[in-house]
Chain A
Amino acid sequence: MGIELDHILLRLGQFQLTADLQFASATTTALIGASGSGKSTILAAIAGFIELQSGSIRLDGKDMQNVPPGQRPVTMLFQDYNLFPHLSVAQNVGLGLKPSLRLNKDELGLVKDALARVDLAGLGNRLPAQLSGGQAGRVALARALLRKRPVLLLDEPFAALGPAQRSEMLDLVSQVQVEKSLTVLLVTHLPEDAARIASFASVVANGTVTKPVATAQLFADPPPALRDYLG
């Protein structure tokens, strides 16, 4: 599912951000930029948490104006608070199928499969507080799998993890992306993360977003804004 940002303008107090570009269907694109540059703002706009000042966002050609967040073909993983602390792991995943959590046998099977897919088989009854950071990320990912939304937005959900765990998670995302042909946008401030799984990358700086180019090419010949950031 392609993502089109058609001359969008976002305004939050003093801060302004414009973008006019497309992310191709079934690709992974990294959004790179300094903290405060507006990377997360772009994701929030696509997910429907912020209103546009002007322009439009189209997913698969469809205008998202007036489509509430829950009904957009989008799943978003946040920096934190991805899981409800009072619900078990299985329930947290189950929310992806039915918010009412009245799951039938087949659906319970799907939850189990999803947990197995992220290597958490058998941990369904635990509470989030009993999980490590990496495991919590996997639970959120398992839920994303069940939701079957074609767009996956990652707002640095693995930022708190160590390098090894982070790589592991990114690889898992990458596998899932290929399997389900997802369009993934990954917000990161780490060039190595971008290089690891994203075929394309955009730079967010100076209130605007550059058009995505192949990641390898971007790092080989960084534009001035990225050069400043990389130092």
Chain B
Amino acid sequence: MKSTLLSAAVLGIFAGAGTAQDRPELVVYTYDSFVSEWGPGPIIEPLFEATCDCDLKLVPAGDGAAVLSRLQLEGQHSDADVVLGLDTSISGSALASGLFTAHGIALPELNLPVDWNDPIFIPFDWGYFAFVYDTTRLSHPPTSFTDLRNVPDSFKIIIEDPRSSTPGLGLLLWIKQVFGDDADQVWADIAPNILTVTAGWSEAYGLFLQGEADMVLSYTTSPAYHLIAEYDDSKAAAAFVEGHYMQVETAAILKSSDQPELARQFLEFVLSDDFQAAIPTTNWMYPVRIPVSGLPSGFDTMIVPTKSLLFSNGDAANVRDEALAEWIAALAR
């Protein structure tokens, strides 16, 4: 405990002056890239503050899984009022934690390929997982998992570890939903093509851009970034005939919030045009409501999966552990 005292003593030096403000404060935990200079954070923060007469504090706490484990660590004592960025693959465990309360908002019509009527989690953006490749290096990408199972061993893909990354978990659920009990056989077939399994999306995507592999597990909208921000049309996502698993990112109110009314107001803001219009070119995902100004040009060139796959919260939590065990068994061989 001495360290605590020590830190408390040094606190002043590092933390600077404390904030004593009259306006109510809304604390929102989210993932790192949401608040970075290129994320939606800097755009939406002043927009919300202009309407709420409050101080919106966006707190990044690592990636999505880290945000959740942090909330679990803090339990009832958390300062957080709202959490922004738990995706459907982990919202099952989030639900089980019992930390969240119903949002009580009547959802408007959503631009989502699946039905959504969750009482606790409000979606704010979504995308499809997909394998991204470089068109200058690969002219005929696999068009299905069946294709992928039959490519020669020299064809390499990079995936993320489901234990530490949401795309990794997404692929796990994707294959599980398509192949069910045969999922382990699929993994066994593509195992020779997996160059490596990285801790997070950044490492995987970085390796791919450096030319380490033919394809990387990412999103169907990843090429939009290169197209819009870098005027580079060489990246594309491979459309798989079995359909694509979805990632839906959500927001929810914490039971322990001391600003429940403000929190609800924020969730309504999340569905507003101001917020939604910021999503495509910051998060490089689809907004859940098409902005008045439409989607930025470039998004229309992205592939549109014929079939959208998504486990419900409960199902995702149920199949997760089994799918993970299969994955480890197949790849550890």
Contact between A and B in the complex (any CB pair below 8 Å): no
Interface residues of A (CB under 8 A from B): none
